[in-house]
Structure 1
Amino acid sequence: MKTSLDCIPCLLRQTLEAARLITSDSSTHERLLREALHWAERMDLNQSPPAMAQRIHRRLREMTGVNDPYRETKEWQNRVVMEMLPALQAEVMASGDPLLTATRLAIAGNAIDMGSNGQLTEQDVRQAVQKAQMDPFSGDVERFRGAVSQAETILYLADNAGEIAIDRLLVDQLLPRRIIVVVRGFHVLNDATRVDAERVGLDPVVEVIDNGSDAPGTILSDGSQELRERFSAADLIIAKGQGNYESLSDEPGNIFFLFKVKCRVIADRVGQPMGTQMLLHA
């Protein structure tokens, strides 16, 4: 997916929110924002939005010396969702359609995104998950169900911390197929890394690898050789979040994108209103 002109103000907002999260030094805020404005002037709009965000967050880490600016944020997000997990597991098991229920809860967890909402609170997280079954939904459930039943190997591209805990519900429904969960290779935004997968207990259940990249999406050319090999070999790819949709929507493969529509650019592209839970086949 190419970068829309409407993506640029969002990237600039994200830049300032991230800078303010790390430091109260207004001169650092100004320096980073000016650099982002300069990059925006020259950026290749044929690249996906995560490619621009990757550059911004690299520079932010360089300027501040803070390797994981969102560490504390990710910790409370993982904690909050792990507290909710037993009740959510019970909801899935009591459902007449556990796969669909787990899928919708996993999509609801995509609201835990500091890229789209830098002011996200614990209450926001709880509300997003609790009203999962009330959100508008768009997707071919039977096609997804058929793809899952036919797959032997599933590559599950995770997105954010907190959200990755809810992903366990869907992973449970995909077992006993071979599942490889992919997390980010380096810290960026509140995206999940190996540490988050360990903290929510995914690593004893499935194989977890990182993608070798610090982009808030999955840019195959920027990822590891292992990622590209696993991507090509998988029978089914489940890609969580708008960042993965933005970076992979033009890639070939049997890909289902699971995300909440969180901006007008994506809403126009998929033809659904803001807040819709998307189960979209590539």
Structure 2
Amino acid sequence: MKTYLECVPCLLRQTVAACRMLAAPEAVQDRLVRNVLTELASADLSQPPPVLAQGIHRQIRELSLQKDPYRWVKKHFTDLAVGLLDELTQTVEDSPNPPETALRLAIAGNVIDLGVTGTLSEAEVFAAIEHALAAPLQGDPDELLLAAEAARKILYLADNAGEIVFDRLLLQQLPLERVTLAVKGAPVINDAVREDAVAAGIDALVEVIDNGADVPGTLLAECSENFLRHFAEADLVIAKGQGNYETLNDVPKDIFFILKAKCPVIARDLGCNVGDLILRRSTHQAKRGQDPTGLSDRTP
């Protein structure tokens, strides 16, 4: 997915929000915003928005002298979600359709996205849970479950810290012995890394790997060979969040995208309204012999 003009002010807003959150010195804020303005002026808008965000957040980490500037925010929302887990698990178990309820709650967790909002309150998380349980769902949960049952290997692409606690509910509806969950290879915004997956207890359920990259999405060209092998071998990929949709929606692979549409650009691309709950199967299926990872083209 390309970067649209509407994405440019959003990326600048991300920059300012990060500066405010970090309480960076005025001189650092000024330098960072000016650098980002210069980069955005000459940016290649044919690239997905997460590619531009990667460069911005590398600068934020460099100028703030913090390897993981959002670490305390990630811990806060992980602790909040873990505290809700027993209640949410009971909600799934008591529902007339546990798989669909688990899917809805996994989508509710997608609200924990500081790349889109910049800030988030606990009240907004609770509101997202209520909304997800009652709002219409665009997509067929049974289609996902049937695809999961038929798959020999499933790769689940996580999105944000805190959100992955909600993902546990959906993971438990899948054949866990065939699932591998992937997190980011290095901190970027509040995306989950291995430390966050462990804090969420994901490693006790399924194998956890990282993708070797610091893109707030899954840009195959920057991922590690280990991740690319898992991606190539997976019969089914489940991709959480807008960043994964933006970077993988044109990739020839059987992918189910799970997200809440949180901005007008994504909503327009998906043909939905902002706030809608989305389960969307990719229309770009791989052809025989096609390798989207490029591994087959590399010299051993």
Which of structures 1 and 2 has the larger relative contact order (alpha carbons within 8 angstroms, sep 6+)?
1
RMSD: 1.1
Other-structure match for 1:69: 69
Secondary structure, counterpart of 2:203 in structure 1 = coil
More moved, 135-144 vs 71-80: 135-144
TM-score normalised to structure 1 length: 0.97
After superposition, the C-alpha distances for 1:40-80 in whole angstroms (9 at most, x for unaligned) are: 11111111000000000001111111111101100110010
Q: Which amino acid aligns with 2:2?
A: K
- 1:97 CA displacement: 1.5
> CA contact under 8 A between 2:145 and 2:174: conserved in structure 1?
no
Q: Counterparts of 1:1-282 in structure 2 under 5 Å?
A: 1-282=1-282
The one-letter amino acid of 1:64's match is: S
CA distance in 1, matches of 2:177, 2:48: 32
Secondary structure in 2 matching 1:106: helix
Structure 1 residue identity aligned to 2:95: S
Greater Cα offset, 204-213 or 133-142:
133-142
Number of residue pairs matched? 282
Q: Are 2:158 and 2:181, in contact at CA under 8 Å, matched by a contact in 1? A: yes
Query: CA–CA distance in 1 between the matches of 2:200 and 2:176?
Result: 19
Gaps of 5+ in 1: none
Gaps of 5+ in 2: 283-300
State the AA in 2 paired with 1:93. E
The whole-number CA distance in structure 1 between the counterparts of 2:144 and 2:228 is 23
Deviations 1:127-175 (A, max 9, x none): 2123321233211333222212211211000000110001000111103
Secondary structure of the structure 1 residue equivalent to 2:256: strand
| Aligned sequence identity (%) | 47
Q: Measure, in 2, the Cα distance between the counterparts of 1:32 and 1:217.
A: 22
Alpha carbons 1:154, 1:177 under 8 Å: kept: no
Deviations, residues 92-131 of structure 1 (Å, cap 9, x unaligned):
1112221111111101110000011112012212221233
Q: Equivalents in 2 of 1:82, 1:231: separation in Å?
A: 28
Distance 2:83 2:46 in 1: 42
SS of residue in 1 equivalent to 2:279: strand
Task: Give the distance between the partners of 1:234 and 1:200, measured in 2 at CA.
Answer: 24
Distance 1:237 1:215 in 2: 18
Q: CA–CA distance in 2 between the matches of 1:20 and 1:254?
A: 40
Query: In structure 2, how many angstroms separate the alpha carbons of the residues matched to 1:166 and 1:130?
Result: 14
Report if aligned partners of 1:109, 1:163 keep a CA contact under 8 Å in 2: yes
Q: TM-score, normalised by structure 2?
A: 0.92
What's the secondary structure of 1:173's corresponding residue? coil
CA distance in 1, matches of 2:274, 2:131: 15
The 2-side partners of 1:193 and 1:135 are apart by 30
Q: Distance in 1 between matches of 2:17 and 2:229?
A: 36
Distance of 1:35 and 1:60 partners within structure 2: 11
CA distance, structure 2, for counterparts of residue 278 and residue 80 of structure 1: 24
Larger deviation: 145-154 or 67-76? 145-154
Q: What are the superposed Cα offsets for residues 229-272 of structure 1, whole Å, 9 maximum, x if unpaired?
A: 11111011000000000010010111000000011101111111
In structure 2, distance between residues paired with 1:272 and 1:177:
34
Question: How far off is 1:177 after superposition?
Answer: 4.0
